[in-house]
Amino acid sequence: MTLDPVLIVPAVGGVLALVALLVWRLPRRWRVRRRLRGLTRQLDSFDPDERARAGAAVVELGLTRHTANVLTHSLAREEDRRVRFGVALAVVRKSEGSRRRRVRRLRKWAVEELGEHEHPVHQGLEWKWTRIVWQATAPQS
């Protein structure tokens, strides 16, 4: 039985493409996971400023299903309003579209949290169709 080069070339090309994809994606994923583990430890700190910085840093890694789980778990037991406000503000600022249910719930929580604080900067914040929309307030004269 002879091997036909017409079949071998696409198979080798496919294997090389798969290896290139793994070499390209896996190191970044490992770095993000390692950074997220460190930030998770900082979210358990006694210092509220460190917890707020860690929450904002988790949001800067990107709002994915995994980071949303980490933040939701941490915020469920968070009692300091300043930390909750800082994380909510970071979530609202990093408002790219996502169809993940956990991310949408985290964004909805962030909008509600900012609404509870009644800060004048955030009065125009509304929740519409799974998107966060900033509305400009009328100029005061």
> Does residue 18 belong to any structural domain of this protein?
yes
> Does residue 140 belong to any structural domain of this protein?
no
More confident residue, 97 or 79: 79
β strands within the chain, DSSP E: 125-128, 131-134
Asked whether residue 80 carries a pLDDT value surpassing 70, the answer given is: yes
Range of the domain at 108: 7-134
pTM exceeds cut of 0.95? no
Distance CA 30, CA 63 (A): 17
> Does residue 41 belong to any structural domain of this protein?
yes
Question: Element (H or E) spanning 51, and its range?
Answer: helix 48-60
> Does residue 31 belong to any structural domain of this protein?
yes
Residues sharing a CB contact under 8 Å with residue 54, sequence separation 6 or more, in sequence order:
39, 40, 42, 43, 45
Q: What is the pLDDT of residues 59-69, one digit of tens each?
A: 998 888 888 88
> Does residue 119 belong to any structural domain of this protein?
yes
Q: What is the predicted pLDDT for the residue at 120?
A: 55
Asked whether residue 129 carries a pLDDT value surpassing 50, the answer given is: no
Domain tally, the chain: 1
Q: Three-class SS of residue 77? A: coil
> Does residue 49 belong to any structural domain of this protein?
yes
